[in-house]
Amino acid sequence: MSKTLEKRPPLVPGLSWNYYFPLACPTLEWIVSNNLEKAFKKDSGLAPGILRLFFHDCFANGCDASILLNAPDGNDEKSHPANIGIRQEALLAIEELRRVIYKQCLPVVSCSDILVVAAREAVRQMGGPDFDVPLGRKDSLTFDLDGPNNLPPPFFRTEQLLGVFGQRNFDATDVVALSGAHTYGRAHCSSLVNRTIESDPPIDPDFKNKLVATCPTSQSSNIVNLDARTPAKFDNMYFINLLNRQGVFTSDQDLASHPQTKEIVNLFASNQKEFFDSFADAFVKVSQIDVITSPSAKPSLPTRAYDPYKDLDAPIRNLYHLPTSPEFLFVEEARRKRRSWGENLTFYTRCGYLAGAIGGAGSGLVEGVKAFESGDTMKLRINRVLNAAGHSGRVWGNRVGILGLLYAEIESRIQAARDADDV
């Protein structure tokens, strides 16, 4: 990753930079990256949708995936008026990632961690910064319907933004950097109609005319790109737009004139690296808001809870079927989903032998070619290559196969310990 260990932000106790590596789910980030790369090629608007889902989950009730929960009566967190603009495709993408990850790693990765990694990829793969994210969150089984009221609306002035974010220990640089996420994505007319009827903060006349043409009223069903110049790219063009008085939201444009933020806007507009570095730090801070690192870490809140264990083995009718973390699984269910020692032995020994054989064969192939002599016939050269590749492949296959056997023993012992500790 791009950020060095020395530059990484401090972590909340219980989180780690390599929480799932190397045993629990070492391929987690690769799975998320690979699947989202395909999805973003089909729909570039999915990336800002996932990033927005991440922020609305974390800033409302903490990064606990509570925004993914379904209430039987439909009165849940994602149905709150503040979350009306959440894209259904973003919710579906997280659910699909959960299914794929559970097939590869079993249910040991929380949905809150999946959402954080997905949001980072939504930034990185669209041209934004590449940075590490801490993992180890547990998921909430309840949601607080008052939480989304903490989300700052698009008509807030900078003084109000600084106050709301300041309550969570974010400074002015964090606020401006996080606002830079509006460098891609879209807005509904209901969120920006005040920009078409007010002149404070200032607005470019031509830009205002375009907004009025697209959104004549707040009830208009049209949408507007937050950055008309590079709408599908994560870059610093957002800040250049603000300097040209072309911010879509009041909360955006006001940053360019407020005494605590205007110099930061100027800096980010002229130096994309400064923006990227500040955004990465602010992102990691957001990802640690009120995280749950143990089942009892979060106090009880006024919630509308439901039983996520009901009909656990029945076909999934809802989009988001939790539980997610092993701490929240019944012991019997967790054990049923985990491989036995014999299955681990077979799986890792085969994988180890195959990997070693392939690598060894490649090495032998090179050695066989190096052994060619000027007088060799084609048949002799082929025999040299095959013999060298076969010998090297067998040797390395056996060596790495033994490592696979040892790995199977280690993982089986870890799983046995987890079974003993599971709720």
Q: Which residues belong to the annotated binding site?
A: 57, 62, 64, 66, 77, 152, 182-183, 227, 230, 235
Contact (Cβ atoms closer than 8 angstroms) between residue 257 and residue 250: no
Side chain identity at 145, as an amino acid letter? L
* DSSP classification of residue 70: -
Give the torsion through C-alpha atoms of 46, 52, 57, 63, to 10 deg. 90
* Rounded Cα–Cα distance for residues 366 and 373 (Å): 14
The dihedral through the CA atoms of 339, 115, 18, 324 has a sign that is: negative
d(CA 141, CA 65): 9
- Rounded Cα–Cα distance for residues 302 and 113 (Å): 24
Q: What tokens appear for 336 in the block?
A: 């049923």
Residue 174 CB-half CA count within 13 A: 19
Contacts with 330 (C-beta within 8 Å, 6 or more apart), sequence order:
309, 312, 423
Give CA separation, 391 vs 352, 354, 382, in Å.
17, 14, 14
Q: How many CA atoms lie within 13 A of 46 on its CB side?
A: 20
In contact, 296 and 106? CB cutoff 8 Å: no
Name the helix (H) or strand (E) containing 187.
strand 186-188
Half-sphere exposure of 261 (CA within 13 A, CB side): 27
Q: Is 321 one of the annotated active-site residues of the chain?
A: no
Containing 240, the helix (H) or strand (E) segment is helix 237-243
Report CA-CA distances (Å) from 192 to 195, 206, 207, 247, 253. 6, 16, 13, 10, 12
| Cα distances (angstroms) measured from residue 299 to each of 151, 289, 319 | 21, 14, 27
Give which of 264, 281, 270 is closest to 129, Cα–Cα.
Answer: 281
List the alpha helices (DSSP H) in 125-224. 158-166, 172-179, 205-214
- Active-site residue set: 56
